Each structure stands twice: as C-alpha cells, then as structure tokens.
Amino acid sequence: MGKNVLVKLGSIGVAIIVAIGIYFVKSKGEEKIEQAKAPDVGQCVHFEKDGTEDKPVDAKCGDAKSSHKVVGDKGACGENETTYQVTRSGSSSGAIVELCLVWDAKKGDCFDTDESKVDCAAAKGSPSIKIVSVGKISARCAKPAEPLDYPKRDLRLCAVPNA
C-alpha cells in the first residue's frame, strides 16, 4: 500500500511539473508574438486612439499621418524621447518591449499637444506647433523658434507656435 501511495504522489508531481512547463512555454510564446507585432527600430508609426489605450499603427516615414519614428527598442530612452511599452494583450504586467520614439518631423510639419501630426492650416490657432527646421544639436534655432532636442540621437527640431 505504501508503494502505491508513492507512485500516485509521484504521478501527481510529474503532472504538476508538466503543467508548469506548458504554462511557461505558452507564456513565452505569447511574448514572442507580441514582440513580433511591435514596430522595429527605423519604422514610423501613428497612434490610433481608442479611448483607453493608444495603439501604434505602422506608417510610412514622412507621411502625413506618421507622427513618430522608433529609434530604440530596449528601453533607456534619451531625453525628450517618448517611451511606449508593448505588453502582452489583455495583461497589465511588465513591458515585453520598451520602444523609444522621436517625432517623425520635417520642416513644415505641425503637431498638436497629443504629439499627433496635424494639418497646419486646419490646426491654425489651436494649441499646435509648426516645425521650421530639423538638424543636428549643434544647429541653432532662428528666433522666435524654440528647440526640441533629442541629444541621444543628435537631433534638434526648431518649432514655433502654429498661429
């Protein structure tokens, strides 16, 4: 009888170990899927706002909708860079990928207070800014433009109110 109990306990232990193994393999597989969905460094995105969570959507760099360019995917973002965390769908646990974003801006682009690219003429008078030059950190902004610097990327955007 004692041997039979040990066999049953051993079987239960093996079943528990197998279940835990399956859970971890499935969990890692889901993380890999979410990582694969995340934009790659060098890609541009715009954010769809659904009222609860903004979601990055691939966009062509320089396009009228493209608001951000991915410049890093390992966290440790630089000064003024926007951090966006990719998490597993339906989970609030830690980030799987931490993206570093800068504005996908060129001279003449306008951005609103949500960092969305907007039509300059339509946004005139609303809280928005217009990019008047893009260059290296060493470049000066002509008055009255103010700099928005991304030191880690050696990038300076010069902006004025879109009045």
pLDDT digits (tens, 9 = 90+) for 88-106: 555 555 668 899 999 999 9
> The whole model's pTM is what?
0.72
Question: Do the bridges between strand 82-86 and strand 155-161 make them parallel or antiparallel, or are there none, so unpaired?
Answer: unpaired
Two structure tokens written together for 57: 């959507």
DSSP structural state of residue 33: H
Element (DSSP H or E) covering residue 85: strand 82-86
* pLDDT tens-digit series, residues 40-56: 999 999 988 776 677 88
